[in-house]
């Protein structure tokens, strides 16, 4: 079955069995409309959300900066675990903890430490610049463990990658529109807000088994 048909099937199922919206307190509003809208309010606390940026220039760094600024504006701490040490700070950002890792393995261990700490509201694990072959070496158990600690410590983790990693997150969104050189004339906030983001995976939170009524 092609991925297009799977997405279509999921849409049909969503329409037939509408999901309950999570309570607002369990969502962390990012302040970035193109992200909050599909996520129905924001990133889910206690879970991992994946943002897939498959194109070399599609605005994931713009979203990253927008997210940090938005969190800074509401006095929330953000930890950026930079998998390839590629973040370019634009200003002195007091509420940003930047962890400059050398590889994916180091980044995942750093993310584990940050999540277990429990002090940081939003952690961003940016693995966009890490090579796919490096990411594929990460065992599925590592992602599962990361999910478990995220849930246990009720922190929010946004994972940014260049391709979808199955089983790593509760929801995965993909940025679909590439940047053009004409975008250099746009405001950064406009660029981050105008990304076309679609779901490529969404875990059905209400998939508990339904038993027949007696």
Partner 1 sequence: MPKPKFFAVVHTPYFRLQCAQQKLVNAEIESNRQTDLPLFGEPATIPKTGDKIPSALLNDSQIIEANPAADAAGVSIGITPSLALARAPELQLYTPVVEQENQQQEALLQLCYRYSPFIENTAPGVCTLDLRGRKDQHQEWWARELLAQWRILGFTAQIGIGPNPELAEQAAKFANPYLAVNANSQLLRSLPLESLKPSHELLDILHNWGIRTLGELVRLPREDIGVRLGLEGLALWDRATGRSTKVLHHMQPPETFREAIDLEQRLETLEPLLFLLRRSLEHLTLRVEAVYRLVAEIRLLLLLDNEDTLERSLQIPAPTRDIAVLFRVLTQYLETVQTTAPVVGFVLEVFASNPGKHQFDLFQSGLKDPNRFFNTLARLAALVGNNRVGIPEKVATHRPDSVRMQWPAFDWMDKTSTQTKSPRIGPALRRYRPPIPATVELISGRPVRIQSPAVNGKINILSGPWHSSGDWWHTNHWEIQEWDIELAQGGLYRLTLSSGSWSISGGYD
Q: Applying CB under 8 A, which residues contact partner 1?
A: 53, 55-62, 64-65, 72, 74-77, 85-102, 106, 109-110, 113-114, 116-119, 121, 128-129, 178-181, 183-189, 191
Q: Which is nearer to partner 1, 86 or 204 (CB)?
A: 86
**68 vs 200, which CB is nearer to partner 1?**
68
Cβ at position 22, least distance to partner 1 in Å? 20
> How near is the Cβ of 36 to partner 1 at its closest, in Å?
18
Alpha-carbon gap, residue 204 to 18, rounded angstroms = 10
Q: Which is nearer to partner 1, 90 or 207 (CB)?
A: 90
Place of tokens 């943002």: 51
Q: In the bound complex, what is the minimum distance in angstroms from residue 18's beta carbon to partner 1?
A: 33
Of 185 and 212, CB closest to partner 1: 185
Angle between helices 140-153 and 104-117 (to 10 degrees): 20
Tell me how far apart the 2 most distant CA atoms of the chain are, in Å: 64
Instruction: Decide if 83 contacts 127 (C-beta within 8 A).
Output: yes
β-bridge partners, 175 = 197
Least separation, in Å, of the C-beta of 15 and partner 1? 34
Compute the Cα dihedral for 104, 110, 112, 118 and give only its sign: negative
Where do we find the tokens 């940081």? 120
């Amino acid at each position: 079955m092609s991925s297009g048909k799977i997405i279509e099937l999921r849409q049909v199922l969503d329409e037939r069995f509408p999901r309950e919206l999570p309570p607002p307190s369990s969502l962390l509003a990012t302040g970035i409309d193109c992200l909050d809208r599909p996520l129905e309010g924001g990133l889910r606390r206690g879970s991992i959300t994946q943002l897939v940026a498959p194109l070399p220039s599609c605005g994931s760094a713009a979203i990253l900066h927008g997210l940090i600024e938005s969190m800074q504006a509401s006095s929330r701490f953000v930890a950026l675990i930079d998998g390839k040490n590629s973040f370019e700070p634009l200003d002195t950002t007091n509420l940003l903890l930047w962890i400059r890792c050398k590889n994916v393995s180091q980044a995942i261990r750093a993310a584990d430490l940050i999540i277990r700490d429990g002090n940081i509201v939003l952690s961003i694990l940016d693995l966009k610049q890490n090579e796919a072959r490096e990411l594929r070496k990460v065992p599925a158990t590592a992602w599962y463990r990361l999910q478990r600690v995220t849930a246990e410590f009720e922190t929010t983790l946004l994972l940014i990658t260049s391709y979808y990693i199955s089983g790593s997150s509760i929801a995965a969104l993909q940025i679909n529109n590439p940047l053009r050189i004409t975008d250099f004339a746009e405001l950064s906030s406009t660029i981050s807000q105008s990304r076309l983001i679609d779901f490529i995976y969404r875990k059905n939170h209400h998939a508990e088994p339904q038993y027949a009524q007696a």
